[in-house]
Amino acid sequence: MTRITIAKGDGIGPEIMEATLEIIKAAGAQLEIDEVEVGEKVYLAGNTAGIDKSAWDIIRRNKVFLKAPITTPQGGGYKSLNVTTRKFLGLYANVRPCISLHPFVKTKHPQMDIVIIRENEEDLYAGIEHQQTDEVVQCLKLISRPGCEKIVRYAFEYAKQYGRKKVTCFTKDNIMKQTDGLFHQVFDEIAREYPDIENEHWIIDIGAAKVADTPEYFDVIVMPNLYGDVLSDVAAQITGSVGLAGSANIGESCAMFEAIHGSAPRRAGQNVANPSGLLQGAVMMLNHIGQTTVAEKVQNAWLKTIEDGIHTYDIYKEGVSKQCVTTTEFAQAVIANLGQQPSTLKAVHYDQETVLTLPKYQRKAAAKKELVGVDLFVHWDGYKADELAEKIRQVSVPGVELSMITNRGIKVWPEGFEETFCTDHWRCRFKPSNGAGVTKKQIIELLEKAEMQGIDTIKTENLYTFNGKQAYSLGQGQ
């Protein structure tokens, strides 16, 4: 018996949750269920997070959370409950299987069977954004070694447990050499620990094009947060219907399972919604808690029902479907098929091996870190790099000198091009003039002198080497 938390959500949420619970209970799921209220009602009662403390207490105690879609009210500064939950509970892995159900659900990609594993906590989603000048805003892209190791290891363990043959990594490390570079590097390191699983890396742009065109080429794909967000929707859509996909959000101690679609408010209360997405989430939950026999039974009965042509309105198609059913009728049909297997679609087999247990992240020894320069960011609306260089060179601090100025990353001094468009946001790179390192004291002096010269400094970014290796990017064109 496992104690779980559920939230029935908004719109079609309560109907698809009821159908899902009915099916998994009929299949023999051993669950003790606590229900919490999250979403629209909580938001509208004035809680901008959409969830209150008592709900958190229950979710954290039970550790396993099955959540129906919720409605986030428009405007009013309401925070996304999904993002909050992922971050608070450390749900670092978002797992989204995208499989075609050809010929029973129309798709251009009959052979598609991929699992997207998206890093869920970092990258541009850390939400650290600032306006720094009149013309420029920034968003910090944070990628950590623990974040990369956890998600990449999860992808390989997932592939191993589910008998998958290949793990592909998507990044844009030809451009983002530090952030995406780290993700790719960690991928290569961890891949070596799994010699039986094929591995490869693609640059995200051509990789995404290949997914849209020839998804059958891929098996498991792991990638940083933003790319995963976009691509997992593309992948789910091209299977034929987003209404059929579930997703798991996995952390070291907690996990949340859901459908990928929203609360479809216009369909609410009509008993027409397709419960399959949430049911897919529930199957992943059953595997997660070790009730693999029940998960297998539910999944095969569901596949058989789809194969029988018993379809809700969203996937109903004249000539393919046999019967257009309501939410409750669909649930009854799945229940009636419990114990049976599909004959055209591939039946699944899960066993205890399917339960993933990952080792905790082991911290590495600190590297030798040396300060070798500083980037001083400046707000200046003179727009001419040579003039700014003259100004900045008057900020003289013994032992450091101006080595380069960039604008939006492009080198504009020395030897810039007149054609390069410049904004009011400049990066002035200072390096040691004598070849030695730079001290924090020199940086503070630099800021003080700049202030005295009336230069509007926005921020500084220290330049380091780690174990002697340069750990910052060069200016484009440098």
Tell me which residues touch ligand NAD (CB under 6 A): 12, 16, 69-72, 82, 243, 258, 261-267, 273-274, 277, 314
Nearer to ligand NAD, 256 or 458 (CB): 256
Nearer to ligand NAD, 266 or 364 (CB): 266
Closest CA to 329 of 341, 342, 312, 317: 312
**SS3 state at 211:** helix
CB of 300 to ligand NAD, least distance (A): 21
Q: For residue 78, what are its two tokens?
A: 């309401």
Q: Residue 401 forms beta bridges with which residues?
A: 431
CB of 244 to ligand NAD, least distance (A): 9
Place of tokens 């247990």: 357
CB of 124 to ligand NAD, least distance (A): 19
| C-alpha span between 277 and 11 (Å, rounded) | 15
CB of 419 to ligand NAD, least distance (A): 43
Q: How many Cα atoms occupy the beta-carbon half-sphere of 278 within 13 Å?
A: 30
CA torsion angle for 211, 213, 217, 221 (degrees, to 10)? 0
**Residue 68 buriedness (CB in 10 A; 0-12 / 13-18 / 19+):** buried
Nearer to ligand NAD, 30 or 270 (CB): 270
Nearer to ligand NAD, 85 or 179 (CB): 85
Closest CA to 20 of 299, 342, 325: 299
Q: For residue 83, what are its two tokens?
A: 């993002």
| C-alpha span between 432 and 436 (Å, rounded) | 6
Nearer to ligand NAD, 199 or 247 (CB): 247
CB of 274 to ligand NAD, least distance (A): 4
Residue 127: enclosing H or E segment and its boundaries?
none
Nearer to ligand NAD, 79 or 166 (CB): 79
C-beta nearest to ligand NAD: residue? 262
| C-alpha span between 309 and 281 (Å, rounded) | 22
CB of 278 to ligand NAD, least distance (A): 8
Nearer to ligand NAD, 281 or 416 (CB): 281
